[in-house]
Chains A and B, each alone.
Chain A
Amino acid sequence: AQSVTQLDSHVSVSEGTPVLLRCNYSSSYSPSLFWYVQHPNKGLQLLLKYTSAATLVKGINGFEAEFKKSETSFHLTKPSAHMSDAAEYFCVVSDNGSSNTGKLIFGQGTTLQVKP
């Protein structure tokens, strides 16, 4: 079975400082991993995805994530936070097993607060 755990429900940073949102996954298969962002009262936007190519994945708005198989982690980072980054972030794993349903399994979400 696949699962994903976001280690922090809430992260607070100051504008201009680095962002780290942590995610660990469990998968019996080579996973596809995603980070989505949801701004208040908005839908879900794909930030980036890992699909077994390069382990360091660059996404939109300066975000990137590194797939570390030995640590079963897929942490999201950004060198310098901007006020507009305040939102909820979801780490997601896709079912790539024998059934290959394409179902997405979501983490519980991490709320990022950016202080001026």
Chain B
Amino acid sequence: DADVTQTPRNRITKTGKRIMLECSQTKGHDRMYWYRQDPGLGLRLIYYSFDVKDINKGEISDGYSVSRQAQAKFSLSLESAIPNQTALYFCATSEGTGKYFGPGTRLTVT
């Protein structure tokens, strides 16, 4: 079984809709991250969490919110989706220098 899973893997939604992307991990790591990938820009950090009570904004948090429901779960929400949020979204966990990425969620906002 995969260490880091993301659901859904693909999603098409309309402008103005609320959408939640979910991430679960079985590594037992405290640190979890959400990144988005856009062509030519690499991956950029949206939010990160050091534990259930510690949530921090990344470099591009506007328009997003997160929830750390448990050590193993970290959800990313788009309260009112807009087309420039169309991207590939990755969840990651880490402990020390080890970094583990989920398979990604491809989100399209029309």
Contacts and interface: CB of A to CB of B under 8 A. Distances in A.
A81 to B, nearest CB: 22
A44 B48 contact: no
Nearest to B4: A43
Interface stretch (A55-63, A71-79, A106-114): A106-114
A9 B99 contact: no
A83 B45 CA distance: 31
A104 B97 contact: no
Contacts of B31: 102
Nearest to B50: A101
A103 B92 contact: no
Interface of B, secondary structure class, is strand
Contacts of A46: 99
A43 B99 contact: no
B34 to A, nearest CB: 11
B47 to A, nearest CB: 11
B104 A108 contact: no
Interface stretch (B16-24, B35-43, B65-73): B35-43
Interface in B55-96: 56, 58, 90, 92, 94
Choose among B35, B43, B44 the residue with the greatest number of A CB atoms under 10 Å from its CB: B43
A90 B90 contact: no
Contact of A103 (B40, B58, B90): B58
A41 B92 CA distance: 17
A104 B45 contact: yes
A34 interface: yes
A44 B42 contact: no
Contacts of B44: 106
A97 B101 CA distance: 22
B104 to A, nearest CB: 5
Contacts of A44: 43, 90, 101, 104
Nearest to A50: B97
20 contacts: A32-B97, A34-B99, A36-B101, A42-B103, A43-B103, A44-B90, A101-B48, A101-B50, A101-B56, A102-B31, A103-B33, A103-B45, A103-B48, A103-B58, A104-B33, A104-B35, A106-B35, A107-B42, A108-B42, A109-B40
